[in-house]
């Protein structure tokens, strides 16, 4: 069974994000970049399924600038078999990403697509669901467990009330949640091996996909600084402040 996993290049989660002076977006120049943590989980899940003998090939896909090759090489070093970079300088919004992935799926014909439930840069949580809708495939979002049983997959997913178990027919789209697994560290020998693994580069135009943005960012600004805390003498004063100043009760 072939599995397609998506990997996105984002600002390192341990780096303080800074907004550009003109408010047009987030500063990315000279900022450390890494693979989206939820994408790491998706890659790790595919690798574990291959180690269990369920998956025969893992194809990692990334969409963006040429620097995304570094992110793909990380996925290859983790254990993916080959990579596909859809190179574009356009701002990639969820619908455009889903359309590109649909074209890749039509070309590769995987039985399962695993994507991170969201990217930590835009927190959209839309791509997996949009892709399933475009393909007309079953979907299971926020997966914390995946078990393949022949032509179906048993997926445990996290919901507000606890855990829910679904069975979806393959092919299907699954979005990986935080507790699905813990990604492995990449070793130096595997980093060297990844350099020899095949990586294909294509353009959105070659796939027949229009990736022009549908949404326009008007302005971006940092959140207001939090005010200093105050001490209250008793519960009566606390309730008064919550009611009259904070207006939360």
Q: Could you write out the DSSP letters of every residue in 176-238?
A: E-GGG--PPPPPHHHHHHHTTS-EEEE-GGGGT-----SS------PPPPPPPP---SSHHHH
pTM of the model: 0.86
Question: SS3 for 157?
Answer: strand
Smallest CA-to-CA distance from 127 within 239, 39, 3, 246 is with 39
Q: For position 248, what pLDDT does the model report?
A: 86
The pair of structure tokens assigned to 80 is 């993916």
CA–CA gap between residue 186 and residue 225 (Å, rounded) = 38
* Segments of the chain scoring below 70 in pLDDT: none
Structural contact between residues 73 and 83, judged by C-beta atoms closer than 8 angstroms: yes
DSSP percent split of the chain into helix, strand, coil, nearest 5: 30, 25, 45
Q: For position 134, what pLDDT does the model report?
A: 97
Smallest CA-to-CA distance from 171 within 207, 209, 140 is with 140
CA–CA gap between residue 111 and residue 108 (Å, rounded) = 9
184 contacts: CB under 8 Å, gap ≥ 6: 44, 47, 78
Backbone angles phi, psi at 31, to 5 degrees: -110, 135
H helices present in 23-179, as ranges: 37-51, 68-78, 94-108, 127-135
Smallest CA-to-CA distance from 34 within 2, 87, 78 is with 78
Smallest CA-to-CA distance from 128 within 3, 5, 2 is with 5
CATH 3.40.50.620 fits 2-224, yes or no: yes
Q: For position 136, what pLDDT does the model report?
A: 96
Q: For position 161, what pLDDT does the model report?
A: 86
Q: For position 140, what pLDDT does the model report?
A: 95
């Amino acid at each position: 069974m072939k599995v397609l996993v998506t990997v996105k290049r984002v600002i390192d989660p341990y780096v303080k994000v800074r907004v550009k002076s003109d408010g047009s977006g987030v500063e990315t120049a000279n900022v450390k970049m890494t693979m989206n943590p939820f994408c790491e989980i998706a890659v790790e899940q595919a690798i574990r399924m291959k180690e269990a003998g369920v998956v025969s090939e893992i194809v990692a896909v990334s969409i963006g600038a040429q620097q995304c090759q570094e992110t793909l090489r990380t996925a290859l070093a983790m254990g993916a078999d080959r990579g596909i970079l859809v190179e574009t300088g356009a701002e990639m919004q969820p619908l455009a990403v889903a359309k590109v992935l649909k074209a890749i799926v039509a070309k590769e014909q995987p039985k399962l697509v695993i994507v991170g439930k969201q990217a930590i840069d835009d927190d959209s949580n839309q791509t997996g669901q949009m892709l399933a809708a475009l393909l007309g495939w079953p979907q299971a979002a926020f997966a914390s467990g995946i078990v393949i049983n022949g032509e179906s997959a048993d997926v445990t997913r996290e919901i507000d009330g606890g855990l829910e178990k679904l069975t979806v027919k393959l092919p299907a789209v699954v979005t990986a949640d935080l507790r699905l697994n813990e990604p492995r560290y990449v070793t130096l020998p595997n980093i060297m091996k990844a350099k020899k693994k095949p990586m294909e580069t294509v353009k959105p135009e070659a796939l027949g996909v229009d990736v022009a943005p549908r949404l326009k960012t008007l302005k971006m600004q940092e959140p207001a600084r939090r005010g200093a805390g105050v001490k209250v003498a008793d519960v009566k004063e606390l309730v008064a402040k919550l009611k009259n100043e904070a207006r939360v009760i």
